[in-house]
Structure 1
């Protein structure tokens, strides 16, 4: 017994004094095309990217290793085509730089050249290629248009006559869901002036909401936040097929003219709230859920892995669809 204890102690002492360095090779990475694009039945307008953020325009880059430290940059040499179910090219794109305050230094963005408007119920294929990487191709069917019920806005008691006072009130509207299908939706809202020109954004006022618990709630109908990609908030009709999906919440809107912030001594009066509800494919729904999980967990070393979903075979990213219906509510 004493001999055994001596051997055990000797072995433990040897292990304490032992130090090893193990070299681990990083996983091999093959650069691939990475892109995002949303085909819609809406007409592309200048300034849409400021409203939707990066959620709808075409952006193309090349993937890089998870251990790479250089800043990811978009590429301007991609060839991208949108084809219909018959294989006909219905849209092509050209590269444009983008930036704020006339500083157009962000590369990788593209604008359509034909102004094609997507047709709900039709299938589309997005094909993209660029030098040095494999070409990619993704397909989807644009969903049927959503059916909206009536909407209303009940303002809070005003505290000032200035439009800069960020008016608040309760916005309500409903989506009349189809009981026969699984459906997925997005909702945005903005304010227009009497001429139908953009006046500003509408934002959920969550000051009275219980913020204890996870940010991702699959049963909650939220407004997506204009211009904030990771605040694109989809909702599913799972468990309530055929029932009305009702949004009713306190919102706040801010004056933000197309010309940008600055001195606007005589701003026009807000005249309408424009609610935009989109039917989206399930791949689009799952992608935006994964974006929320990613941003909710990226700063925690104890979080579960939160990989971004992709529906671009041979590459990375999202080929999305959105069938839009607009409801305009007088203020």
Structure 2
């Protein structure tokens, strides 16, 4: 790598850090960050200085917004001195795409932050954790990824937080970027970019306190024959709502009145449950179409999927954004 580079490593737990529990017989997160790094062959030969932080030992599904706020603050402090060239986060794959997206919303440093994990735990034949961690360290130290924000690296592929999805429950190649593809791959200890990382959006301001304002954002997925009764149950229970609609942003006509009523009280975002491609704004015109719903006060989510839309809306509400600011923020993701 030439001049010695420095990478900070934060372990959060997840499959990559799991061993068998003698009581239950199932695997649980138990390995430390040092344990993980010790399992990676030839890592010391890269000549990269590693600063190791054993941050959490929890399953990916148990991570929360408080954890990410604290992690983001720790990373920001580590990067302030300028002597760290990149960051690696290891965690459970259940929430990797969400963790990466939330961190990317506020990451305003040039150093890349690489999130990785494993689909096969260390007790299985062919665990992928060591290879993924090796590739993640390489990516974090790579000068060509400066300014790229938060990225996800698994299976020797580099994905932008903006596009990455977990698209299979068990495959080591589970992580993909629908509609965009990976921004690069790793081979022979080199980062090889295949396309430019997506344009970064203006980072959100850091929260003034770890928790921010206590915010609840609901996610409602529309289904065939939906009569709207469950939608009505959200009224009064959340500060914002994301509707994962059919296709380009359509719902059954019987939901229209409930959605219009909700949109007068809280921000209601219109996303697509397909999670690949944009919500339209002006093509269809029947009751329950995207044009009709936007006219009734729903905010289109651009080409953000429903999970990303929920996260962005939650972060905006946590910093006190009003409806106009929310609309502007989501409009930016359509450009």
Higher relative contact order (CA 8 A, sep 6+): 1
Which category of TM-score, normalised to the shorter sequence, fits these structures?
A: under 0.3
More strand by share: 1
TM-score, with structure 2 as normaliser = 0.24
TM-score, with structure 1 as normaliser = 0.24
